[in-house]
Amino acid sequence: MNEGRLLSKILNKCSNRRLLDQGKQVHGVVEKLRLGRDLILNNDLIDMYAKCGTVDFACKVFDRMPQRNVVSWTALMCGYLQNGDAKTSLVLFVKMGLRNVISWNAMIAVYTHEGNGALVDLYVKCRRVAEARRVFDRIEEKSVMSWSTLILGYAHEDDLAEAMDLFRELRESRQRMDGFVLSSLIGVFADLALVEQGKQMHGYTIKVPYGLLEMSVANSVLDMYMKCGLTDEADALFREMPARNVVSWTVMITGYGKHGMGNKAVELFNGMQVNGIEPDTKDLIEKMPLKPNVGIWQTLLSVCRMHGDVELGKQVGEVLLRLDGNNPANYVLMSNIYADAGYWKESEKMREISKRKGLKKEAGRSWVEIAKEIHIFYNGDGMHPLIGEILQVLKEMEKRVKEEMGYVHSVNFALHDVEEESKVESLRIHSEKLAIGLVLVRGGLKAERVIRIFKNLRVCGDCHTFIKGLSKVLKIVFVVRDANRFHRFENGLCSCGDYW
Condensed to tens digits (0 to 9), the pLDDT of residues 56-84 reads: 999 999 999 998 887 888 788 878 877 77
Lowest mean pLDDT among 12-16, 359-363, 493-497: 359-363
Integer CA distances (angstroms), 399 to 276, 409, 450, 491, in order? 55, 11, 22, 18
Q: In the predicted model, is pLDDT for residue 412 greater than 70?
A: no
How many other β-carbons are positioned within 10 Å of the β-carbon of residue 468? 22
Pairing of strands 450-455, 477-481: parallel
Query: What digits encode the pLDDT tens for the residues 325-360?
Result: 888 888 888 888 888 888 888 989 998 898 888 887
Q: What share of the chain has pLDDT > 70, as a percent?
A: 82
Q: Residue 222 has what pLDDT? A: 93
Q: How confident is the model at residue 470 (pLDDT cuts 50, 70, 90)?
A: very high
Q: Does residue 322 or residue 361 have the better pLDDT?
A: 322
Q: What share of the chain has pLDDT > 90, as a percent?
A: 22
Query: What digits encode the pLDDT tens for the residues 126-167?
Result: 677 888 898 888 887 788 888 888 988 888 787 777 887 888
Handedness of CA 141, 143, 148, 150 (dihedral sign): negative
Q: Residue 105 has what pLDDT? A: 55
For residues 301-326, average pLDDT: 82
DSSP conformation letters of 140-166:
SS--HHHHHHHHHHHHHTT-HHHHHHH
- Distance CA(263)–CA(256), nearest Å, equals 9
Q: Does residue 468 or residue 428 have the better pLDDT?
A: 468
How many other β-carbons are positioned within 10 Å of the β-carbon of residue 61? 24
Q: Residue 319 has what pLDDT? A: 84
Q: How confident is the model at residue 45 (pLDDT cuts 50, 70, 90)?
A: very high
With a CB cutoff of 8 Å and minimum separation 6, the contacts of 164 are 197, 374
Q: How confident is the model at residue 185 (pLDDT cuts 50, 70, 90)?
A: confident
Q: How confident is the model at residue 210 (pLDDT cuts 50, 70, 90)?
A: low
Q: In the predicted model, is pLDDT for residue 114 greater than 60?
A: no
Helix ranges (DSSP H) in 208-327: 215-227, 231-240, 246-258, 262-274, 281-286, 294-306, 310-323
C-alpha triplet 116, 120, 122: angle, nearest 5°: 110
DSSP structural state of residue 361: P
DSSP structural state of residue 414: T
Q: Does residue 438 or residue 279 have the better pLDDT?
A: 438
Q: Residue 192 has what pLDDT? A: 75
CB 323 within 8 A of CB 292: no
Give bridge partners of residue 453 from the DSSP assignment: 480
Give bridge partners of residue 477 from the DSSP assignment: 450
Q: Residue 91 has what pLDDT? A: 72
- Residue 173: is it exposed, middle or buried by C-beta count within 10 angstroms (0-12/13-18/19+)? exposed
pTM score, whole prediction: 0.56
Integer CA distances (angstroms), 252 to 64, 198, 222, 464, 478, in order? 56, 17, 7, 26, 22
Domain boundaries of the chain, sorted by first residue: 176-243, 294-356, 365-494
Chain-centre distance for alpha carbon 153: 9
Integer CA distances (angstroms), 28 to 8, 14, 59, 190, 336, in order? 13, 14, 17, 60, 69
Q: How confident is the model at residue 435 (pLDDT cuts 50, 70, 90)?
A: very high
Q: Does residue 182 or residue 58 have the better pLDDT?
A: 58
Integer CA distances (angstroms), 113 to 80, 110, 136, 175, 302, in order? 18, 6, 12, 17, 56
- CATH architecture of the region 294-356: Alpha Horseshoe (1.25)
Give bridge partners of residue 374 from the DSSP assignment: 369
